[in-house]
Chain A
Amino acid sequence: MARRYFTVAAFAGLIVAIQLATLATGTAYYLTQLTMTAYYSLVIVGLCMLIGYAGQISLGHAGFFAIGGYVAAFLTTWDLKSHQGAIVSLLSKSGALVSRHDVYGGSLLTVHPWLACAAAVLLTVAVAYLVGGPILKLKGHYLAMATLGIGIIVYRIVLGTEFLGAADGISEVPGFPLPGGLLITGDSSSRVSNYYLAWGVVILGMILLLNLIHSRIGRALGAVHGAEDAAEAMGIPTARYKLHTFVLSAVFAALAGVLLTHYNGGIGPSEAGVMKSVRYVAIVAIGGMANLWGALSMSLVLNYLSLRGYFGTYDDAVFGVILILIMLFAPDGLLRRHLLSDLKRIVSRDPEGEEAP
Chain B
Amino acid sequence: MLGGMIAVTLNGFLPIPLAIVLAVILTTIVGAVIEIAFIRWLYKPSVLRMVIITIGVSILIREIALHIWGESVRALPYFTGSSVSSINLGGVYISSQVLWVIGIGALAVAALTAFFNLTMLGRQMRACAANRDAARLCGIDAGNMVTLSFMISAAIGAIGGAVVCPITYVQYDSGTPLAIKGFTVAILGGLGNSTAAVGAGMILGILESFSIWVLPTAYKEAISIAILLGILFVKPSGIFGSAEAARLKEF
Contacts and interface: CB of A to CB of B under 8 A. Distances in A.
Nearest to B44: A354
Interface string B209-251: 0000000111101100110110011001000000000000001
A317 B55 contact: no
Contacts of A355: 46
B180 A142 contact: no
Given A138-B236, A140-B48, A153 B222 contact: yes
Given A153-B225, A357-B49, A324 B176 contact: no
Contact of B180 (A149, A159, A282, A331): A149
B202 interface: no
A145 B183 contact: yes
A150 interface: yes
A148 interface: yes
B47 interface: yes
Contact of B42 (A161, A320, A328, A356): A328
A134 B233 CA distance: 6
Looking at chain A's contact residues, the main secondary structure is helix
Contact of A327 (B53, B63, B229): B53
A156 B52 contact: no
Contact of B63 (A134, A156, A317, A323): A317
A157 B216 CA distance: 10
Contacts of B67: 313
Contact of A278 (B55, B66, B221, B225): B55
Given A144-B48, A323-B52, A324-B56, A152 B232 contact: no
A237 interface: no
Nearest to A138: B232
B226 to A, nearest CB: 6
Q: Is the interface of B mostly helix, strand, loop or mixed?
A: helix
A281 B52 contact: yes
A156 B222 contact: yes
Most chain B beta-carbon neighbours within 10 Å: one of A57, A141, A160, A275 = A141
Contacts of B176: 274
Interface string A117-157: 00000000000000100110011111111101110110011
A327 B38 CA distance: 10
A74 B39 CA distance: 44
Instruction: Bin chain B's interface residue count.
Output: 35 or more
A297 to B, nearest CB: 21
Given A146-B229, A328-B38, 4 more contacts: A144-B48, A156-B221, A278-B59, A321-B60
A159 B251 contact: no
A314 interface: yes
A330 to B, nearest CB: 11
Nearest to B64: A317
Contacts of B177: 152
A331 B49 contact: yes
Given A134-B233, A141-B251, A313-B67, A357 B46 contact: yes
A161 B217 CA distance: 10
Contacts of B13: none
A228 interface: no
A319 interface: yes
Given A134-B233, A327-B53, A148 B180 contact: yes
Nearest to A322: B56
A140 B47 contact: yes
- Of A140, A150, A327, the most chain B CB neighbours within 10 A belong to A327
Contacts of A135: 229, 232-233
A166 B57 CA distance: 29
B43 interface: yes
A153 B67 CA distance: 28
A139 B48 CA distance: 8
Interface in B57-78: 57, 59-60, 62-64, 66-67
B139 interface: no
Contacts of A146: 228-229, 232
A324 B43 contact: no
Contacts of B233: 134-135
B45 interface: yes
